[in-house]
Structure 1
Amino acid sequence: MRAVLLTDLRDAARALLAQPASERPGLSARMINEAIWADLHVRRTGRAHPLWGNGTLSDAARKRVLATEPTLDDAGYCDCLTLVLLGLRDRPGRVDPPL
């Protein structure tokens, strides 16, 4: 996965916020994995992956519906940002792409 910037966090949290709370943990992990796999694809081919994007978390998130960005005093948005940050902190060092 390419370097994670604030825009990546915001877009990923907005993608999570657009989904029911019960689906958010799985989606967060999925977007992080897609960014990792897309980055591997870009490094191999020099082109963005058609489904997962260019290897940024933002690109993986923007393949989905994004909620309108609320302010940082919105509890649900804070929960979504936390999920993304924890997912980034706890992600495995290497994830094999699906076959």
Structure 2
Amino acid sequence: MRPLLHGDVSNAARALLAAPRRQRSALCRRMIDEAEAADVHVRRTGRLHPFWGNGSLMAAARSRRLADEPGFDDPDYCECFEMVLRALIEHKISRRRS
């Protein structure tokens, strides 16, 4: 996955916010996996992945419907933002152990 920036997290959180609550956790992990796969594809072929883009989490998220970005006074958005951050931390820890 390409280096992570604020926009990656906010776009992923917006994709989660647009999804049904019960599907958010699986969707979050799927977007991270898609970003990883797209990054491998780009490095191998020199071309964008046809579905998930350039290997950034933002590109994987933007392949979906996004909710309008609310402020941090929206508790649902905060939960989605936190879910993305926690999933990224878990992903980084599991990669270090591999």
TM surpasses 0.5: yes
Give me the identity figure in percent: 55
Which whole-Å deviations, capped at 9, do the CAs of 1:20-70 have from their partners, x for residues lacking one?
110000000000000000000000000110011110000000000000000
Structure 2 partner of 1:85 = 85
Structure 2 partner of 1:16 = 16
Q: Distance in 2 between matches of 1:87 and 1:20?
A: 18
Tell me the matched-pair count.
94
Give the TM-score taking structure 2 as reference length. 0.93
Secondary structure at 2:81 match in 1: helix
Q: Distance in 1 between matches of 2:67 and 2:31?
A: 16
Offset, 1:93: 1.3
Alignment of 1:14-53 (within 5 A): 14-53=14-53
Structure 2 partner of 1:4 = 4
Q: Greater helix share, 1 or 2?
A: 2
Alignment of 1:52-63 (within 5 A): 52-63=52-63
Q: Distance in 1 between matches of 2:78 and 2:24?
A: 13
Q: Which moved more, 1:85-94 or 1:52-61?
A: 85-94
Structure 2 partner of 1:97 = none
Q: Distance in 1 between matches of 2:78 and 2:87?
A: 14
Secondary structure at 1:83 match in 2: helix
Q: Which amino acid aligns with 2:36?
A: I
Structure 1 unmatched runs, 5+: 95-99
Q: Distance in 1 between matches of 2:88 and 2:33?
A: 10
Give the TM-score taking structure 1 as reference length. 0.92
After the TM superposition, list the runs of 4 or more consecutive aligned residues in structure 1 that deviate by more than 6 angstroms.
none
Structure 2 unmatched runs, 5+: none
